[in-house]
Amino acid sequence: MARGFAARAAASVAALSILAGCSSLGMDSVLCPTVDVLDGARQLTRFKGGGRDLTDVEFQAHVGNLSADCSFDDDTRVGSIDLDIVFRAQRGPAGAAADHEFGYFVAVIDPAGDVAARTPFSVEVSLEGSRTEDAKSERLALDIPTGENTSLASYRVYVGMQLTKDQFEYNLGSRR
């Protein structure tokens, strides 16, 4: 019984030492900025040809789950965000069995409401053979330099599908 207690106590001290080591390196865990999907850019619907009917859908993809872990370096005033994004895709009635590539973006909005950064990315999903659904997870590391009196939590991070004007208008119309 005493031996079990001593082992647990030693493990607790070791864990605290590891945590203290992170803090002494200047990287502290902090509140993350708001991370969300940009309204109207959650989903991409790609049609075959010029059609707009549900039977003309090649595939649809949407931003699924988002999660973030954040840290902050007091010395450099840089916040780091490890962002996990899950995308889900489905083959439509007009879709062929194939790999489909689509674009998305991550935008950082500063405390004044200005776009501090906007970076495009691409992801590929496999809808080969009899497979009609796929999910892909992307992990990104973002570094956000902050001002002297600005917290990382005062920024916002938005994820969205890279859309054409027609695709964006389709998304807005399909929500009605």
Q: pLDDT per residue over 138-152, tens digit each?
A: 999 999 999 888 999
Query: Does 4 share its domain with 77?
Result: no
> Model pTM greater than 0.75?
yes
Asked if 73 and 130 sit in the same domain, the reply is yes
Q: Mean pLDDT, to the nearest integer, of 45-51?
A: 90
Question: Residue 79: which pLDDT band, with cuts at 50, 70 and 90?
Answer: very high
Residue among 90, 107, 33, 39 nearest 67 (CA)? 33
Same domain, 107 and 74: yes
Same domain, 8 and 35: no
b (16+ CB within 10 A) / e for 133-146: ebeeeeeeebebeb
Whether 20 and 42 map to the same domain: the answer is no
Query: Cα–Cα distance between 126 and 65 in angstroms, integer?
Result: 19
